[in-house]
Amino acid sequence: MESGRRNPLFYVGENIAFKLTASPKLKTPPWDRYEVRDYWGEVLEKGPVAGESLPVKSQPPGWYKLYVFGKPMKDPGAQKSAEEKLLDGDKSTGKEDAAVRNAWQFRQWYGDGIGGTMFVVVRDDPNFPKPVAEGFPKPNPAGDGVMRAVSGMGPRRHSADASKLEQTIKQLDAEIGVDKAL
């Protein structure tokens, strides 16, 4: 997924769009549908993915997560023996069957999610420097530290103590209230 933006950072009211790319080895793109969730995990938008462009509705300031889900897969069934393949006239090697079975098994374990990214929407403030739209250097594999510091990208992690449930719930309600207010 590529937005053409650093981190990806968008301003309130701007068009938000992502470009999806698939391996050239695939005959059809693997994506099927998407969801946009807010910081709290609430689904704000969802629908089918058509083509390689994925436009997202403009959002108020905040942190968001875009999830892309793959097309449903059928159970490939049990592996055929060499004798069964011979009788069926199946000339495939075991490699294709193994790849399909492995992909299906992966989906059983982890679900249909095939990609995702976070993005942030900020207010258009004249005191906030505009990121360079084109020609920006790609971040190193450790991430784009400068933009992460500017956008505060990523959810805040709250700590909880399961042994003191009532006290922890009160503490978390207060912390989450402050987060929502900000």
| pLDDT per residue as tens digits for the range 14-23 | 899 999 988 7
Q: How many CB atoms lie within 10 A of CB 24?
A: 5
142 pLDDT band, cuts 50/70/90, is: very low
CB 23 within 8 A of CB 56: no
Q: Which residue has the tokens 């805040």?
A: 156
The sheet carrying 9-11 orders its strands as 9-11, 113-122, 62-70, 31-38, 43-48
Among candidate residues 94, 59, 60, 67, the one with its CA nearest the CA of residue 80: 94
Half-sphere exposure of 86 (CA within 13 A, CB side): 3
CB 65 within 8 A of CB 116: yes
Report how far residue 119's alpha carbon sits from residue 113's, in angstroms, rounded to the nearest whole number: 17
Which domains are assigned to the chain?
A: 9-72+112-151 (2.60.40.10), 157-182 (no CATH)
Label residue 25 exposed, middle or buried (CB < 10 Å: 0-12, 13-18, 19+): exposed
Tell me what the pLDDT averaged over the chain comes to: 78
Q: Give tens-digit pLDDT for 169-182.
A: 998 888 777 767 65
Confidence at residue 126, expressed as pLDDT on a 0 to 100 scale: 79
pTM given for the model: 0.63
- Tell me the mean pLDDT in the region 122-145: 61
Q: Give tens-digit pLDDT for 45-94.
A: 999 998 889 999 999 998 899 999 988 777 777 666 777 777 777 776 66
Strand-pair category, 16-19 with 53-56: antiparallel
